Chain A
Amino acid sequence: MGNNQPLIIVDGVPIDNSTTSTSSFNPVDGGYPGEGTVVTNRAADLNPNDIESLEILKGAAAGAIYGARAGQGVVLITTKSGRAGATHFSLRSSASFDDVSHVWQLQTKFGQGSFGVHADTSVGGSCDNIGAGICRRSWGPRIPAGAAVFDHARELYTTGHVIENAMTVSGGNDRTTFYLSGENLDNNGFFVGDNDRYNRATVRVKGSHRPSDQLKISANLSYADTRGHYTQRGNNVNGVQIPVMRTPPDFNNLPFLDPVNHLHRSYRFQHPQASDLVGDRGFDNPFYDIFEQQNLGNVGRVFGNIGAEYLVTPWLKFNYTLGADYSNDERLEGCPISSSDVCFSGRVIEGKIVTYQIDHNLTGTVNYTISSRASGTVTLGQNLNSENHRNLFEVGRSLVAPTPFKLSNTVLRDPPQDNETVIHRESYFGQGTLDLYEQLYLTASLRNDGFSNFGRLSRRAWFPKGSVAWTFTKAIGERPWLTFGKVRVAYGEAGTEPPPYVTTPTFFSGIFGGIAQGTGVTPTQNGLGGLLTGGQKPADVLKPERSKELEAGIDVGLFRDRADASFTVYSSTTSDVILSTPLAPSTGYTNQYTNAAKFRNRGVEASVNVRAIQKPDYGWEVGLQWARNRGYALTLNGPQYIFFGDGVAQVGQEIGVHRSLGFIRCGISDPSLVGGLAAACSGAPQGALYIAADGFPVGDPNPRIVSNPNPRWTGSVRTALRYRKLQLSGLLDIRHGGVVANGSKGALWSYGTHKDTENRATCTATACVGNDKVFGQAGWYEGPVAGPGANKAVPIGQNWYNGDLAPCAFTGYDEACLDDDGYVKLREVSVTFTLDAPWVQSTLGLGSIDLRVSGRNLKTWTKWPGFDPETSGGGSADAIQGSEYFGNPQSRSFVFTVTLNR
């Protein structure tokens, strides 16, 4: 899958909406999307106050208009324009207060140590040696009553705030309109300190003029300046979450600099000496990372378009748009000199991401009328698009002096990263509509796309679409209970393009051959240039991926418009799904982009809105939405499964299910295991957990599908109350089902800091006593069991949580730490009041004042034990969020807004 982000179109022109981690440009340290410094999505460069309307197109509807780029959906944004009439002024200020919506539950009863023995935390003790196993975890003795404990779940967070000021001036006359806007946003995030912040300043100028009755020319230009300071996250001991949540409850992370030597101290390296300026701390102190790292992204971006609209005759119109989007994103990721692990002795990553896109769009539209009962339009168009990306990055290691974070201040440099891509697209499209008897609406369209990123034999592809809608109430007449009714059927095809350059052979010169993060070599050695045959076999025949979607629905207005309801069913089949498909490495290659699969998606969407009370002075309405979707892999060419996001696509399974290791289970695991599983399972139900003689389950060596992260259904409840100028509204979101492997939980079990480990057996290196559990009973891996140790009570402590199965992040047995990530979330509650009484005009000289108070993510009801079921280690870069590993929390916000209109 080339790209799992939707295509965003602003005023007819596509814009860049990528999210790129700075760590992606550091292959030596194993950086990948979602880890390290992750900055905002480039769609955030758009001033939200400029948005007039936003429309989301999915599936077939999107494909007809945007062809082979529309497979992941299209977001159509139209910006505001000036209107003829008095000049309109608007000034909007908002202030937001943000904190962390949910924190991890950590234990506070047991201290640093192992097997009940406290680590030696004195000066020069074992905890000044990062190799000391006894200092790594919180399996020490019970913390004495009265001794200090520290709240590592909350200590990194404070109340953040966002201050936004925006103004617009717009107006015009019958020939000319203009719109000017400016915005400044200061976001100070909820991490303590000054390195979690983000500033955006934007201006927009938009205008149009009609030199003649037939011709309208327009221009629309926005400049955005976005500067951010970020924190690192993910599987990264220089990020904040791994160090903070693994810190024993009896260690104070503050001060993060040693009071005597003023050097970085951490729980595994508690007393740095003067000679320890450079030295691994095991894990960084999270405050050291927050306060001393510099992770920057500074973006300058200009995007907009010029256009012309030419009305040749009353029935023929031409439209031309030439759009451009250019951004320059300067990055710095600086680890200070006393950092640990891959940042040992300091590390600087500097680089820039330059993107530009030019889009040319020409359409001609004919309005025709055959008779008073038949009319329509015919549109023909051409689109040319050039999309360019360039990344140039360099990693420097070992700071010469502690500052500055500059490549020139480093001792060693990795091979530079220099990557550019150019994609050209050339498309032609036509669309015809026919409206009959003002009740039957027919649409047909056809698009031909040409792409530079496909192979020579399949550079062009056709995408048709057709739809029929019938307003049947026009034929049968309105009824008191049925004021409006429409049935609709649509069929369309959409595509997804592959990444560029997958069809040509390449040789590899990068980093390979390491063990884990921070290790590896290049094919070039000893000043002799070296190359390797690239692991990715060139795609020989690659066709565009094609989704064919059939959608049918009914929309009705009921009880004199007191209510409306809508019901839609859809079924789409995506064939020739483009995936990076594994090859047998013994063929000499590891993977190849192929048309690897056929997927089917089926779903139902229903909504009901009831306007229960509708009076001039007050009203109340309620809306319900419900949707379910099931996506399956129907066929797969070659392998048994293909990695897809965090999960896999496997025939007969839902797309994105999680393949991992689990426990040996009756009827599921290979019956030859454990010396005859079949006999041990005799009489036990399918799926019964096998319990060995020692009372514990056993790891199954054969991987299998252990969980399905896809929700069973989603829904929302929306309500609004209105009393005169006061409006109160609320939104509740529901996601039901979906099970995710919670790697963070597994790791925190292992470290003995998770709340679950507060109830623990008393363990020595050889034996444990107490906290007895029976597998299969009383909520402890509940379900049927079988085997020689079935129903045996066993002590659960360090033996289990830090053992060879339970800490899934380290053992690979993800079945041990699955969690339901469904939720019910009070997404938003807001109160709006509009002041437009005559005194506002007379005393303040204003047309109206809007006051708004809202709360976001106010409350979440969930079984998920982490920060929030909506966050995951991978973030938005993942197609499917199927796993969690030390992601950052979600925010809860209160926003106060005042808008002055004149």
Chain B
Amino acid sequence: MTRFSKVAAVSLIVLGASACGSFLTGDKLSSDPNQPSAATRDQLFVGVQANLFSSQENSVAMTVCMWMQQCAGVGGRFVEQYSRYVVDEFSWDGNWFNVYTGGGLIDLRKIEASARADGDSVYLGVAKIWEAFDIGTAADLWGNIPFTDAVGSDPTPTLDNQAAVYDAVQALLSQAIVELGGPGAGPGAQDLVYGGVKAKWIAAANTLKARYYLHTVEAAASKAAAYDSVVKYASLGIGATTGDLRTYHTSATSERNIWFQFQLTTFGQDVVAGKFLVDLMKARSDPRLPQYYGKNKGGGYGGQDVNVTQPSDSISAIKGAGRNVADFRQPLVTYQENELVLAEAYSQTGNDPVALTHLNNARAVAPLPALVAITGPALLDSIMIEKYVALFQNIEVWSDYRRTCVPVLTPYLKANPIWRGKIPGRLYYGGTEGNVNSNVPSPGQQLSTNGFRNPNDTADCP
């Protein structure tokens, strides 16, 4: 028995000794040794820019380019399927993430909170412009979206009406313009677009205000008032191409332009030139044709038509000189857009001579010769066509088309009848949001609401 006692005592010591230690906690056990657990405002701001740049260059931009027939899809795989409106709730799930999750709204709010706490009004203003651009773009693509309840404690944020979201976007931009005049060092070198130059941000904010007022015009109670706002802010907008808001890229592997990266992959080669824009530019003798597209096998330019298969050898790749390079900075909000926004607003409010001046300002950038003695509907059409060409690869083209139905595009005629013979008017909400958030209607319900158009788009295009 004594021997048993000794053994028992020893074993209890062994058991006890290990039990009271910190075997289950400590370095590499309690926290992730692989990822940082804290981030500074500057680090988040660089990350936000990387996200918002790529969001404007990836799946949505590719889809819009194809649906607007600046691009086309071939190859029978997902790219061509997208071009034929074979899409579902997961087609842009990732883009929906990018609006709100890391690099999107959640980080913008963290940056804003930090800037407020430090009294850096300039940083706050720049962050608010990015927030307005992020949310404004989401309202363009999806219509009614979560904003008031987003990135808060509500697990299923309600959808705000698109008009209310545009109001919030205008408010953010107005605040930002004021805040940029306030104290603070701002993002400085962390600002990959303007290097911290306040005046350029103020001009860009005004152009964005004009853009978003223009997006409300179709459904506005007073179109004249909406155009007046457009003119008011665009007049304070980007005044030279040196003020263009462009993405930032380098030739480092993970910093390259996404359009360029995609062209290097097997799927990316499925995105090719769209016949409509190629033919249009050829007819205009547009000097930008070689910048937008590569030469086809015959040494000329041609594109694919979603309805009439074109010979392979006639089709150009999206490999324009100057644009299809790793460090090409994709223009997002530009002097040309600002001038064409002014032109459209003046034309719509009966001031054709001023409209023509602004149209010619935009054409001079191309460069294209000035137009003379053109008025009325022909002038408006010229303005919208000019914008359609100038804003190549920019998703803003889709907003213009939905509002003005210019240019006249033939939808894919053999599409699934759920599309009613139209080019889709918006994107499906992301499937992940739909899975969790019961405020999001099913894809079928989205199709049967307003002809799958956003609330600001009151009428179908032909």
Specify whether A and B are partners.
yes
Known pairs A534-B102, A673-B418 / 16 extra A-B pairs, C-beta < 8 Å = A132-B312, A237-B266, A382-B18, A382-B19, A506-B34, A506-B36, A513-B51, A515-B267, A518-B264, A524-B47, A524-B50, A531-B39, A583-B436, A701-B416, A701-B447, A804-B415
Of B59, B81, B150, B418, most buried by chain A (CB within 10 Å of CB) is: B418
Binds A, one of B204-212, B248-256, B363-371: B248-256
8 Å CB contact of A523 from B28, B51, B84: B51
**Nearest-CB residue, chain A, relative to B444:** A670
A-B contact pairs, 28 of them (CB 8 A): A130-B269, A283-B266, A312-B4, A382-B15, A428-B19, A506-B36, A507-B37, A508-B102, A513-B103, A515-B62, A515-B268, A516-B78, A516-B262, A517-B267, A519-B265, A520-B261, A523-B103, A525-B50, A531-B44, A532-B48, A582-B435, A584-B146, A585-B430, A587-B154, A587-B157, A698-B417, A807-B76, A810-B81
Assuming the contacts A517-B267, A590-B432, A641-B435, asked whether A134 and B100 have C-beta atoms less than 8 A apart, the reply is: no
Tell me whether B106 is interfacial, beta carbon within 8 Å: yes
Report the minimum CB–CB distance from A823 to chain B (whole Å).
30
Given contacts A136-B76, A523-B103, A532-B51, contact A418 B436 (CB under 8 A): no
A residues near B107, Cβ cutoff 8 Å:
532-533
Interface centre among A418, A425, A513 (most CB of B within 10 A): A513
Q: How many chain A residues have a CB neighbour from B under 8 Å?
A: 117
Provide the bound-state CA to CA distance between A452 and B264, in Å: 44
Tell whether, in the assembled complex, residue A525 and residue B192 are in contact, meaning their CB atoms are under 8 Å apart: yes
B97 at the A/B interface (Cβ < 8 Å)? yes
Contact at B157–A586, with CB atoms within 8 Å?
Answer: yes
Chain A: minimal CB distance from B45 (Å): 8
Task: Tell yes or no: B443 within 8 A of A by CB.
Answer: yes
B332 within 8 A of A: no
Instruction: Specify which of B23, B35, B43 is in contact with A529 (CB 8 Å cutoff).
Output: B43
B50 adjacent to A517 (CB under 8 Å):
no
A361 to chain B, nearest CB (A): 12
Nearest CB of B to A744, in Å = 14
Do A535 and B43 touch across chains, with their CB atoms under 8 A apart? no
Q: Check A459/B24 contact, CB under 8 A, given A312-B3, A452-B29, A583-B155.
A: yes
Q: Is the CB of A362 within 8 A of B269?
A: no
CB <8 Å contact, A585 and B433:
yes
Cβ distance A660 to chain B, nearest Cβ, rounded Å: 9
A740 interface residue per 8 A CB criterion: no
**Of B29, B55, B272, the contact of A422 (CB 8 Å cutoff):** B29
Complex CA distance for A751 and B75, rounded to whole angstroms = 10
Which residue from chain B places its CB closest to the CB of A764 in the assembled complex? B309
Encode B399-422 as 1/0 by CB contact (under 8 A) with A: 000000000000000111110000
Residue B458 is within 8 A (CB to CB) of chain A in the complex: no
Determine whether B448 belongs to the interface, using a CB cutoff of 8 Å to chain A: yes
Instruction: List, in ascending order, chain A residues with CB within 8 A of B118's CB.
Output: none
B315 proximity list for chain A (CB < 8 A): 131
**At the interface, is chain A mostly helix, strand, loop or mixed?**
loop
The verdict on A426 contacting chain B, using a C-beta distance below 8 Å, is yes
CB contacts (< 8 Å) of A511 on chain B: these are: 254
Question: Closest A-chain residue to B106, C-beta based?
Answer: A588
What is the CB-to-nearest-CB distance from B157 to chain A, in angstroms, rounded to a whole number? Answer: 5
A275-292 residues at the B interface, CB under 8 angstroms: 280, 282-283
Beyond A506-B36, A525-B255, is A519–B261 a contact (Cβ under 8 Å)?
yes
Q: Chain B residues near A421 (CB, 8 Å)? A: 33
Interface residues of B (CB under 8 A from A): 3-4, 7, 11, 14-15, 18-19, 23-25, 28-39, 42-51, 53-55, 58-59, 62, 74-78, 80-81, 84, 86, 88-90, 96-107, 110, 145-146, 149-152, 154-157, 189-190, 192, 248, 250, 252-256, 258, 261-262, 264-269, 272, 297, 308-309, 311-313, 315, 317, 414-418, 430-433, 435-437, 442-445, 447-448
Residues of A within 8 A of B (CB): 28, 114-115, 126, 129-137, 237, 280, 282-283, 310, 312-313, 316, 318, 340-342, 344, 362, 364, 382, 384, 397, 412-415, 418-426, 428, 450-452, 459, 500-501, 504-509, 511-526, 528-535, 582-590, 638-641, 661, 669-670, 672-675, 692, 698-703, 750-751, 765, 802, 804, 807, 810-812
Question: A126-B313, A131-B315 given as contacts; is B84 within 8 A of A28 (CB)?
Answer: no
Please, which residue of chain A has its CB at the minimum distance from the CB of B415? A804
- Chain A residues, CB < 8 A from B432: 582, 584-585, 590
Q: How far is the CB of A477 from chain B (nearest CB, A)?
A: 42
Residues of B within 8 A of A531 (CB): 36, 39, 43-44, 46-47
Find the A residue at minimum CB distance from B59. Answer: A515
Contact B100–A588 (Cβ < 8 Å): yes
Shortest distance between the CB of A802 and any CB in chain B (Å)? 6
Contact A535 B88 (CB under 8 A): no
Tell me if A526 and B269 are in contact (CB < 8 A): no
Question: A365 to chain B: closest CB distance in Å?
Answer: 12
**Across the A-B interface, the 5 shortest Cβ-Cβ residue pairs:** A513-B54, A532-B102, A588-B106, A530-B46, A523-B47
Nearest-Cβ distance from residue B36 to partner chain A, whole angstroms: 5
Q: How far apart are B1's CB and chain A's nearest CB, in angstroms?
A: 9
A807 to B49 alpha-carbon distance, docked (Å): 38
CB B224 to nearest CB in A, in angstroms, measures 35
Residues of A within 8 A of B308 (CB): 765
Which residues does chain A contribute within 8 Å of B35, judged by CB atoms?
506-509, 534
Q: Which residues of B contact A521 (CB under 8 A)?
A: 50, 53-54, 254-256, 258
Q: Give chain B nearest CB distance to A217 CB in angstroms.
A: 16
Residue of A at shortest CB range from B272?
A131
How far in angstroms is the closest Cβ of chain A from B365?
Answer: 26
A811 neighbours in B (Cβ, 8 Å): 81, 86
Asked whether A513 and B58 contact (CB < 8 A) given A420-B34, A639-B436, the answer is: yes
When chains A and B are docked, how far (Å) is the Cα of A765 from the Cα of B80?
16
Beta-carbon contact of B254 and A426 below 8 Å: no
Tell me the minimal C-beta distance from A747 to chain B in angstroms. Answer: 9
Q: Select which of A504, A582, A700 is within 8 A of B30 by beta carbon.
A: A504
A501:B32 contact, CB within 8 angstroms: yes
In the bound assembly, the distance between CA atoms of A653 and B415 in angstroms comes to: 32
CB-based contact A131/B258 at 8 Å: no
- Contact partner of B103 (CB less than 8 A), chosen from A316, A451, A512, is A512
In this complex, the member of B44, B48, B102 whose beta carbon has the largest number of chain A beta carbons within 10 angstroms is B102
- Min C-beta distance of B299 to chain A, whole Å: 13
